[in-house]
Structure 1
Amino acid sequence: MKIAFVTDTGTGQHPDYWEEKGIYCLPLQITCDGESKDEYTEITYSEVIQKLHEKKVLKTSLPSLGKIQDCFEKLKHEGYDTIFAVPICRGLSGTLDSMEMIANQLEMKFVGVDCYCTAVEQGCMIESAKKMYEANIPIDEIIKKLQSIADSCETVLLCDDLDHMKRGGRLTPMAAALGGLLKIKPILHIGKSTNGKVDVLDKVRTMKRAQDRVIKHLKELNVDSNYTFIVAHVDALEAAKEYAQKIESQIEGARVKVIDLVSAVGIHTGLGCLALQVFNEMKD
């Protein structure tokens, strides 16, 4: 059995980054004004941010079926008979199902693991899978380990731009206007408990209260220093740094890394969004 490890740009990394690690990465698509472009290779992250500032309505979609097929056909020609995939989660995209369908059409074996989210956790899972395989760990044990990482993951989004969510159709105009007037901050989350779909955790007034509520939520989940902590932002670096410091001051031993929020999520939440992702790589 010869296995090819496959992911997508939901990881927040350029396909070239994964190529250096021997992992195949397919680009998600970003659509603006009716034109679809491959993430990173045809439209950069900075260009996405600029379009958000221009109040453009952007959409994301799975990699083109043609690109998935071309990739898998190339892998089959190179002697691979099995695809091991950790793409963006099923709750956010049809990528995993499309990969499985095309692998089956090509009569290749397919192993797909749902990460119940995307971003850093997704990247951690596919990289861990390849490392474990190279260490001769059986596939069923690799799957079990990845599932434990996915089970531990929780991602919480604090949205600051309700008008953007209104333009994208995720809030009614009245709800957006009322939310802005009352300074309401919706707290959204995604993980196994939401089956990989974005759901409302709570609604509070002011960003400070929202951050306090998120930290309380982490404590309720017994998140500790064994977890990886990521604060991601949509063009809100200083706010993200302050949020990270607040988390570190209230969860003993936490060390928080600050990064840009992946386009697959940030496009839908808008500018100013702060996202916290935690997961436990060490949990058995």
Structure 2
Amino acid sequence: MEKIAIITDSTADLDVKYAEENNIIILPFRIIYKDREYRDNIDIKAQEVYDNIKVEIPTSSLPSMADIEDAFNKFTEEGYTHVIAVTLSTGLSGINNAIKLVSENFPELTTTVFDSRSISEGEGYIVKEVRRMIDEGKSYEEIVDTLPKIRSSIKIFFIVDTLEYLVKGGRIGKVTGAIGTILNLKPIICVGEDGKYFTYDKVRGKKQAVKRIHELAIESLKAGKELGIYDGNGKVDADKLYEELKSWCSDNKVGTVRRAGSISPVAGVHSGPGLIAIAIVDK
């Protein structure tokens, strides 16, 4: 009989209690300062990163190989036969390959390491869908075959106060790094089908950027899609956007919107403060 384990990483932004209750192992990325190192969202919280970011911009590294090996040893000891790992986009990180390398040392476990080609709410949504399908009694093969379709149903759009941190962290993707300084142009950044960031649109100023995100959200809600709003040290603007969209949904009785949480500390390292994002799911 199949027994399927789930593993992901800390950029999926899963609620810790939810993960514990659903037997999902979260591998923490590392946040590295000159004189100290932290496990993402365990030893350090996002606000601590933002509070320190003007003093020192930390770097990041993958979850340790020991953490990954410990997870697979646990799966073996607990009688699991299959493993589904959902990871941060390979366009942004090498975590997918690291898990694949470790899984090769556990041939007794049939393992799929799935590239979410996403981050935060997008990655986390896929993990939750895997859990739901396991609970419904779907087979390993059925779940694995369904994952690409789930991935293709997700779109992520976000804005940041400045591209400085994406540039320094090497996460700029296809977003033009020179945008904005003189003309105050703000890119609306999307996660592409290749899992890399690209400029979806450009507007002038933060206010217009938030307005454009609002327009994209309304377009999606009119189409009956689900919407999640999250932030990275942009709580005030994200809360305001949520309240506006919730009111719109109530009046028009179309689509659903929810206020998700904040991005992980390690994601905050690379985005910097002021991120506002929407995750759109086409059910």
TM-score (norm 2): 0.83
Looking at structure 2, the residues matched to 178 and 43 of structure 1 have their Cα atoms a distance apart, in angstroms, of 32
2:79 alignment partner in structure 1: 79
Shift in alpha-carbon separation, 1:50–1:250, aligned structure 2, 3 A: same
2:196 alignment partner in structure 1: 197
2:87 partner SS: coil
Shift in alpha-carbon separation, 1:80–1:168, aligned structure 2, 3 A: closer
Identity among equivalent positions (%) equals: 26
2:80 partner SS: coil
2:264 alignment partner in structure 1: 262
The one-letter code sitting in structure 2 at the alignment partner of 1:209 is: Q
1:96 alignment partner in structure 2: 96
2:238 alignment partner in structure 1: 240
The one-letter code sitting in structure 1 at the alignment partner of 2:278 is: L
Shift in alpha-carbon separation, 1:34–1:157, aligned structure 2, 3 A: farther
Looking at structure 2, the residues matched to 34 and 19 of structure 1 have their Cα atoms a distance apart, in angstroms, of 31
Give the drift of 1:158: 0.7
1:51 alignment partner in structure 2: 52
The one-letter code sitting in structure 2 at the alignment partner of 1:147 is: P
The one-letter code sitting in structure 1 at the alignment partner of 2:137 is: N
Unaligned runs of 5+ in 1: none
Shift in alpha-carbon separation, 1:99–1:200, aligned structure 2, 3 A: same
Give the drift of 1:119: 1.4
Looking at structure 1, the residues matched to 126 and 82 of structure 2 have their Cα atoms a distance apart, in angstroms, of 17
2:14 alignment partner in structure 1: 13
Matches within 5 A, 1:105-124: 105-107=105-107, 108-124=109-125
Shift in alpha-carbon separation, 1:249–1:207, aligned structure 2, 3 A: farther
Shift in alpha-carbon separation, 1:104–1:168, aligned structure 2, 3 A: closer
* More divergent stretch after superposition (122-131 vs 91-100): 122-131
The one-letter code sitting in structure 1 at the alignment partner of 2:130 is: A
The one-letter code sitting in structure 2 at the alignment partner of 1:244 is: Y
Looking at structure 1, the residues matched to 119 and 177 of structure 2 have their Cα atoms a distance apart, in angstroms, of 26
RMSD between aligned residues: 2.8
The one-letter code sitting in structure 2 at the alignment partner of 1:66 is: A
Shift in alpha-carbon separation, 1:42–1:140, aligned structure 2, 3 A: same
Give the drift of 1:169: 5.9
Give the drift of 1:189: 1.0
The one-letter code sitting in structure 2 at the alignment partner of 1:134 is: D
Is the 1:9–1:15 Cα contact (8 Å) retained in structure 2?
A: no
2:153 alignment partner in structure 1: 152
1:130 alignment partner in structure 2: 131
Looking at structure 2, the residues matched to 70 and 46 of structure 1 have their Cα atoms a distance apart, in angstroms, of 29
Give the drift of 1:154: 0.9
Looking at structure 2, the residues matched to 57 and 162 of structure 1 have their Cα atoms a distance apart, in angstroms, of 14
Shift in alpha-carbon separation, 1:211–1:105, aligned structure 2, 3 A: same
1:42 alignment partner in structure 2: 43
Looking at structure 2, the residues matched to 11 and 169 of structure 1 have their Cα atoms a distance apart, in angstroms, of 20
Instruction: Give CA-to-partner distance per residue, 1:78-131, whole Å, 9 cap, x none.
Output: 322321111222222222221122111221211222222121232232232123
State the aligned residue count: 274
Instruction: Give CA-to-partner distance per residue, 1:34-80, whole Å, 9 cap, x none.
Output: 6432112222233223223x342123332111110122122213322
Instruction: Give CA-to-partner distance per residue, 1:214-247, whole Å, 9 cap, x none.
Output: 4555677x55464331222222221112233454
User: Of the two structures, which has the highest relative contact order with CA contacts closer than 8 Å and spacing of 6 or more?
Assistant: 2
Shift in alpha-carbon separation, 1:122–1:147, aligned structure 2, 3 A: same
Give the drift of 1:160: 0.8
Give the drift of 1:176: 7.3
Looking at structure 2, the residues matched to 176 and 122 of structure 1 have their Cα atoms a distance apart, in angstroms, of 25
Looking at structure 2, the residues matched to 127 and 258 of structure 1 have their Cα atoms a distance apart, in angstroms, of 14
Is the 1:19–1:25 Cα contact (8 Å) retained in structure 2?
A: no
2:181 partner SS: helix
